[in-house]
Structures are given as C-alpha cells and as structure tokens.
Amino acid sequence: MYKFFITATDTDAGKTFVAQSLVKALTNQSLKVAVFKPVSAGCDLINNKLVNEDAKLLFDLANCNQSLNEINPIAFKEPIAPHIAAKHTSNKIAVNDLSDHYKAVIATNADYVITEGAGGWRLPLGNGKFLSEFVQNTKQQVVLVVNMKLGCLNHAVLTYQAILADGLECVAWVANCFEGMDYLDDNIDELTKLLDCPMLAKLDKEQSIDVAANKFNVELLTR
Ligand SMILES: Nc1ncnc2c1ncn2[C@@H]1O[C@H](COP(=O)(O)OP(=O)(O)OP(=O)(O)O)[C@@H](O)[C@H]1O
Ligand SMILES: [Mg+2]
C-alpha cells in the first residue's frame, strides 16, 4: 500500500484539485484508491451532518466504498483555522485521534491512500500540535503542490525543508499553474533546481479533472 499526503504552499493552492486528479489517474489504471481528509473547516449542513466540499469531491472519485464520515472524520462548519473552530465549539483536535481514524482508511486495503492536508504544511491543531505530526505518525510520503505565483519559490523551499526536517520524504512536487504567472518557465526551472524531487505534473488552468489526470506521471511515485 502506498500512502501519500498532499500538502501545498498555502490554502487554495490546489490540494483538492491535485488530489482529485491523482485519484483519477490511479483509478484509470484500475488501482484501488482510498482517500482521507483528516480535518476540514468550512462545511454545509446536509441531513444534519456537516459535509465538507473537498471530502465530497474525493468521495466521488475514490473506489473503496468509504463513507463520507470515514473520509473526513473531523469537520467544522465555519471556514476558519480548524483549531480556532475547535476552540469555539469546545472541541480538541488530537493527533492520536487523526491517526486512529486513519486506521479505518488503511483497513480498506487500497493500493493507494491519498490524504489531503488542510492549509499548508505547518497547520496548527492547537495545544502546540501540528497536522504534520499526523503525517509523521502515519509515515506517509509527501507530495507538495506549488501554486505557481509570485512568492511561491520562498513558500515552496520553506515547505520542502520543513518536510525533510520532520524526517519525511517529499517524493514529488506539482507545478500548479492555474493563476497565470509572469516568467513561469523561469520559475519552474528554478524550482526544479531547488527541490530535490521530481515533478509529478505540470497543470495549467484545466477544463476538467480528466484532462488534468492525464498529465500525471504516476510511475514517479513508486520508483
Ligand atoms: N490546475 C487547475 N485548473 C483549474 N482549476 C484549478 C486548478 N487548481 C486549482 N483549481 C481551482 O482553484 C480553486 C482552489 O483549489 P483547491 O480547492 O484545490 O485548493 P486547496 O489547496 O485544496 O484549498 P483548501 O486549502 O481550501 O483545501 C478550486 O476551485 C479548484 O478547482
Ligand atoms: Mg482543498
């Protein structure tokens, strides 16, 4: 079983879009793919249950019969920093709870488990804890999504260095070029030098997940 955690240079950088495309690329190859969104903030109340859009999008593409609740066990209504949402609803987000919920995902016996983070790499969970500790506990390999815009070189390198400093492997990065950037090729060349891992995909502003999925070089993930 391969376990990948999708992180990014920032919120709204394309983690869900990349996770969706990656899941699609893998299921296109008849592989069994489970998904996980450990923590979400920003949900709709549907039939008395909090439903997060990211979790729903991943649910729609995965093929291991998971429930929405299994995919996203911790959900808060307001679209704010999760640990602040937790505080305001008298909850706590414990790293061990996230790791326990992850066990149910592992139990699907999927070929691949694709987990989408929240925010960026050092997302606070409150009480001095970070989402990155869940990734360490569950020994996932990391895929870094870079939102290609001015300032991304700094964010990408800091994130890459933090992943390595945490004792984890950043196996690949994705150049997510959906916002339009001046001198894009120069910036991609620079990141290719600065990040010591292969580029899994270069995405433009894509019309569909299907089109994006075809741009993934998934063989890179299992080298
Ligand atoms: N390559 C792309 N082509 C077209 N649309 C994209 C692309 N990448 C991202 N988007 C769109 O940009 C928006 C932000 O992307 P996305 O939701 O994937 O970011 P995120 O990192 O998951 O955000 P969050 O931190 O809220 O989870 C979404 O509407 C998404 O569909
Ligand atoms: Mg998302």
**Ligand 1 pocket check: which of 17, 76, 149, 176 to mutate, most ligand atoms within 8 Å of Cβ?**
17
Question: Which residues touch 222 (CB under 8 Å, ≥6 apart)?
Answer: 2
What does the angle CA 134 – CA 140 – CA 141 come to, to the nearest 5 degrees? Answer: 130
Catalytic (active site) residue 37: yes
Helix axes 15-27, 53-61, angle to 10 degrees: 10
pTM value?
A: 0.98
142-191 pLDDT tens trace: 999 999 999 999 999 999 999 999 999 999 999 999 999 999 999 999 99
- Which residues lie closer than 8 Å to 104 by C-beta, 6 or more apart? 70
Per-domain residue ranges of the chain: 2-222
> Which of 3, 15, 24, 37 is labelled catalytic?
37
Could you please state the CATH topology (level 3) that the domain comprising 2-222 is classified under.
Rossmann fold (3.40.50)
Tell me the per-residue pLDDT of 109-136, one tens digit each, with 9 for 90 and over: 999 999 999 999 999 999 999 999 999 9
